[in-house]
Amino acid sequence: MALALSPQLVLADEPTTALDVIVQDQIFTQLKQLQKKMGFAMILVTHDLALVVENCQKTIVMYGGQIVEFGPTDDMATKPLHPYTIGLKNAVPVLGSSKNPISIPGTPPNLMLAQKGCLFAARCPLATEKCNNQIPKLNLASKTHYVRCHHLAEAQKFAEKADNPEIWEINNRTVSV
C-alpha cells in the first residue's frame, strides 16, 4: 500500500524486526527490485547494523535524537569515529571471534530534562568537562564523513583500543589514547 501512489521517498521503519534472516533477505530483495523499477529513495530506520551494511549506501547514527555521525556506510562500518558508533560496532558479536561483545555502560539521557553538553558524555570514555558543558558541532572528518564530537582527533586512536572492555569502564572517565 505504501507504494500505491508512487512515492519519491519511502520510510522503512524497522521493516524486518523479529523476522529471521531468510525472510529479511527476501523482503530486501523485493524492496531493491521495486526501488529500481519505481525509482524511489528509501530511508531505513533500524537497530540492525547488518541490515544497514548490506542495504545502505549512506548511514546516519543518532543518539538521544541527535545525529552523532554520518557518512558512507563502508566508512561507518570499518572506520567509525564517534565513540557511540565505535561502541555499537563493538557490541555486535563477530562469528568465530574469541572476543565477547562489549556493551556500552550507563544509561541514555532523560530527554524529558533539559540537557547541556554532549548527550553521550555520561557514557563516553573520552568525555571531558567541555563535553559536559558544550554541545559539540557536527564536524567534517573527511570529504563525506561527519562526526559530532569534541575529541575527533583522539577518536581514531580510541577506536583502535575500544575492543578492550576496560576502556569502557565508567570509573575510567578520561582515557589516555
CA distance 18 to 34: 23
Strands 146-148 and 58-63: unpaired
DSSP state of 26: H
| Residue 5 covered by a domain | no
CA distance 98 to 40: 42
CA distance 34 to 39: 8
Backbone phi, then psi, for 138, in 5-degree steps?
-80, 110
Does the pLDDT of residue 175 top 50, yes or no? no
The 3-state DSSP class for residue 102 equals coil
CA distance 85 to 175: 17
Q: Among 16-20, 41-45, 155-159, 168-172, where is mean pLDDT lowest?
A: 168-172
The range of the structural domain enclosing residue 20 comes to 13-56
Q: Report pTM.
A: 0.88
Report how many domains make up the chain. Answer: 2
- Same domain for 134 and 110, yes or no, is yes
| Residue 7 covered by a domain | no
Strands 9-13 and 66-72: unpaired
- Same domain for 74 and 39, yes or no, is no
- Same domain for 49 and 63, yes or no, is no
| Residue 80 covered by a domain | yes
* Structure confidence at residue 176 (pLDDT): 45
- Same domain for 36 and 86, yes or no, is no
- Same domain for 42 and 61, yes or no, is no
- Same domain for 32 and 43, yes or no, is yes
| Residue 3 covered by a domain | no
- Same domain for 51 and 78, yes or no, is no
Question: What sign does the CA torsion over 7, 12, 13, 16 have?
Answer: positive
- Same domain for 154 and 71, yes or no, is yes
| Residue 2 covered by a domain | no
Residue 94, C-beta contacts closer than 8 angstroms, at least 6 positions apart: none
Q: How crowded is residue 163: how many other Cβ atoms within 10 Å of its Cβ?
A: 17
pLDDT, tens digit (0-9, with 9 covering 90-100), for 21-60:
999 999 999 999 999 999 999 999 999 898 999 999 999 9
Which CATH number does the domain housing residue 166 bear?
Answer: 3.40.50.300
Backbone phi, then psi, for 140, in 5-degree steps?
-80, 115
- Same domain for 34 and 79, yes or no, is no
